[in-house]
Structure 1
């Protein structure tokens, strides 16, 4: 298996995690600060992993 493909899969996994954290808000309080920060960190990591995987495949 090519390393670029592994990075693309990791990016997709991290993107799913970011989406899952973003969706899990409380009905009354909404999203908390740490929840937003963690979702943004996962989103940035997913974008970096996906971009590096694409560049590795090209």
Structure 2
């Protein structure tokens, strides 16, 4: 298994984590500030890992 495939899979894992945090909101308060920040950070990391993996596969 090449490092490109590992990075793409890891990017998908991070994307799933970002989605999980984004969907975990409080019933009355909605999403908190730290939840939004952490979800955005995970989303950016997922995009970077996936892009790096695709570029390594090319």
Same fold (TM over 0.5): yes
Aligned residue for 2:6? 6
Q: CA deviation at 1:5?
A: 0.1
CA RMSD of aligned residues (A): 0.2
Q: CA deviation at 1:56?
A: 0.3
5 Å matches for 1:12-23? 12-23=12-23
- 2-structure distance, mates of 1:36, 1:9: 23
Q: Figure out how many residues of one structure are paired with residues of the other and give that number.
A: 58
Query: What TM-score do you get using the length of structure 2 for normalisation?
Result: 0.99
Query: What TM-score do you get using the length of structure 1 for normalisation?
Result: 0.99
Q: For structure 2, which runs of at least 5 residues remain unmatched after alignment?
A: none
Runs of 4+ aligned residues of structure 1 deviating over 6 Å after TM superposition are none
